[in-house]
Structure 1
Amino acid sequence: MAEVEMTEKELDELVDELQNDPSELWEFVSRNSEDKTESEIDAIANELEHSSLDLREFVIHSLNK
């Protein structure tokens, strides 16, 4: 996957959008978590929903794959 370039504002908006929409967050985690079970994805999404810093790191890592 190619590296995606985003401005800080775009990154902040994506993180806010994901944090405020659990189903969108779950989909994002699912698309960017290879070889994870549904329950593992649930656990990751649940953790990220409550930590904007961790979610931001996950998004950055996912976009730089």
Structure 2
Amino acid sequence: MNAPAAIRERVGRYPVVALVLQGGGALGGYQCGVYEGLHEAGIRPNWFAGISIGAINAAILAGNPDD
């Protein structure tokens, strides 16, 4: 089983998925890459939360849902 399939299987056990992002300015770009990886794996968080740069990224992600 490849990594994305294993992650989807584990995440699929839960009815709601939350993505919580921490603060720390330099981590902002890293967080975007992590979200991109989740998105490519078919994982769509239902809730976003964060502090500092994480809150900014969470607001951007929550405010721009997939079409």
- Name the TM-score, length of structure 2 as normaliser: 0.29
Q: Greater strand share, 1 or 2?
A: 2
Could you say which structure has the larger radius of gyration? 2
Q: Greater helix share, 1 or 2?
A: 1
